[in-house]
Amino acid sequence: MKKILLALMVLALAAASAFAGVGINWTTVYGAYTHDAPNVTDYPSSYQLLDFYNVTWQLIYAGADNAIDPVDLANGANGYVSDDDDVWATRSITLGGGTAPEDSTVWDDWMLWASGDTVYEDLGWSTAGSVYQRIYEGDPASLSWYFDTGLLALNTGYTGSPALPQDFFVDTGSAGFQPDQQIPAVPEPATMGLLGLGALVMAIRRRRA
């Protein structure tokens, strides 16, 4: 009898290990403001993010270096991330709020949840690490504003429902968030040409000297 119980326990542990993964409830709790809002605690106000911009909202794996790497506009096909960061999930929400086609979640103009399943789930993930969220105000482009959360350390023991996923809120229960970083300006091709010409002239002068 003891051997049978021991075997059942081993099987149960093996099954749990086989289905361990990650489950992340990525959402908001207070609201999203535009980058120029003077106060992110005076809800309601007239600075709802989605009343002025559409947003691209990403859940990003921070990679082996466990760091938030800069935006890379040249990497648009892979979510504008750089180095070893990896976009796990994206929500595209149009001006005024509405349904994100990627996961059918619904959001109001404050970027507050209205309906749909907000959990990202990967039951096959077992690598330790962290994730973060990035929200672009408007389309990712030169001089666009965006917001990065801090890092959330992954719990890789998630086994799916009825287990609870990790809650990962962009904001807090008493204050909203607003894009607070700006993508650097990308020089025009003509400007780049002039810079290159200037560098060439400097190199020639150095050789003559």
The answer to whether residues 169 and 111 touch, using CB atoms and an 8 Å cutoff, is no
Taking the CB of residue 55, how many other CB atoms lie within 10 A of it?
25
Q: Locate the domains of the chain by residue range.
A: 26-117+129-155+177-208
Whether pLDDT at 9 is above 70: no
Task: List, for residues 145-174, the tens digit of each pLDDT value.
Answer: 999 999 999 999 999 999 999 999 999 999
pLDDT above 70 covers what percent of the chain? Answer: 80
Q: E strands, 46-129, where?
A: 55-61, 86-93, 98-99, 106-107, 113-115, 119-122
The H-assigned helical ranges of the chain are 2-18, 189-208
Can you name the residues that pair with 25 across neighbouring β-strands?
A: 119, 167
The answer to whether residues 36 and 48 touch, using CB atoms and an 8 Å cutoff, is no
Task: List, for residues 18-40, the tens digit of each pLDDT value.
Answer: 558 999 999 999 999 999 999 99
Rounded distance, CA 84 to CA 92, Å? Answer: 23
pTM across the whole model: 0.83
The answer to whether residues 153 and 22 touch, using CB atoms and an 8 Å cutoff, is no
Mean pLDDT (whole number) for 173-192: 85
Q: Which residues fall within 8 angstroms of residue 75, CB to CB, at 6 or more apart?
A: 81, 82
